[in-house]
Chains A and B, each alone.
Chain A
Amino acid sequence: MSGNLQGEVALVTGASRGIGAAIAQRLAQAGATVIGTATSAAGAEAIAAALAAQGGHGRVLDVTDGAAVEALVEALGKEFGGVSILVNNAGITRDQLLLRMKDEDWQAILDTNLSSVFRTSKAVMRGMMKARKGRIISIASVIGLTGNPGQANYAAAKAGIIAFSKSLAREIGSRGITVNVVAPGFVQTDMTAALPEEQKKAMLDQIALGRLGQPADIAEAVAFLASPGAAWITGETLHVNGGMYMP
């Protein structure tokens, strides 16, 4: 599939590590001009270094800051041409049993994981509509479909991404823009490394393919949805979970 994203401009949020870093790398390999974002300057520099060979870039972005999102998309438009592939990957966890979950734990997750998708999608919409093409791919989670104790906030946000994407897919399909979701299962990243050992084992037992996912497994699915071959797929959620959950 290498080279099939030549001429595309891809914006990947949360690209300094884990799944986002793998996605940025994969899209760059396919020929896209990739701009990865991180919340810190150090993160943005790391992205730029990782993507340097393919001509990619790193930028600082707080996805909870609507004005910053708009400013970045506008700046990218001037520098590289309009964003034609948006990958909403940035996300955090604030796991807590509901009884102990603070308002701020709930709000932070909704804001960073779900409202961010609204902001970035809206920011790229004008350019994609004018171009009569575009790909919006958001990273949800198997947890958004199965639920998980201690993750009511995270599950709600991830499920919200799926419903948001279906609505937007219907709204702008006539303009040649597809909106899809990749729902990863249990992938080996810093985020999942923080989970308790027994929870990890319990999840591993549920995975038909008998191993944790690697960030590259997710990146491959994103690259497919971004590719010309996926032109007739929209509103879809691709489950990449090793057979942990089969809806």
Chain B
Amino acid sequence: MSSIEERVKKIVVEQLGVKEDEVTQNASFVDDLGADSLDTVELVMALEEEFECEIPDEEAEKITTVQQAVDYIKAHVKA
């Protein structure tokens, strides 16, 4: 089973259509990876499905980088 980091990375690559090496820990979805607001909503939807959780809107807004997504999943989802 892949680590949370790898799974998050894979989703970001798929959703945003970016190259894997662009998806660094501190990459910002909007500023570095070219996501628009709709992309970020979709990204959260994809994370919710992958990790079978529900991310409330107010939490989702705070997830703006790869690391923040990983941290959120680690804190809220049982591996």
Contact = CB atoms under 8 A, between A and B. Distances in A.
Nearest to A130: B45
Nearest to A171: B38
Nearest to B42: A129
A175 B38 contact: yes
A172 interface: yes
Interface in A91-131: 126, 129-130
Contacts, number: 8
Contacts of B45: 126, 129-130
8 contacts: A126-B45, A129-B42, A129-B45, A130-B45, A171-B38, A172-B38, A174-B38, A175-B38
A70 to B, nearest CB: 13
Interface string B15-50: 000000000000000000000001000100100000
Contacts of A129: 42, 45
A15 B38 CA distance: 32
Interface string A175-202: 1000000000000000000000000000
A71 to B, nearest CB: 16
A129 B38 CA distance: 10
Interface of B: 38, 42, 45
A174 B38 CA distance: 9
Contacts of B42: 129
A77 to B, nearest CB: 13
B15 to A, nearest CB: 11
A221 B38 CA distance: 30
A174 B17 CA distance: 14
Interface in A57-80: none
Contacts of A171: 38
B49 to A, nearest CB: 9
A171 B45 CA distance: 17
A108 to B, nearest CB: 29
B38 to A, nearest CB: 7
A102 B45 CA distance: 41
A175 B42 CA distance: 11
A129 B45 CA distance: 10
Nearest to A175: B38
Interface string A134-176: 0000000000000000000000000000000000000110110
Contacts of A130: 45
A42 B38 CA distance: 40
B45 to A, nearest CB: 6
A165 to B, nearest CB: 17
Contacts of B38: 171-172, 174-175
Nearest to B49: A130
B50 to A, nearest CB: 13
Given A130-B45, A172-B38, 6 more contacts: A126-B45, A129-B42, A129-B45, A171-B38, A174-B38, A175-B38
B72 to A, nearest CB: 19
Nearest to A129: B42
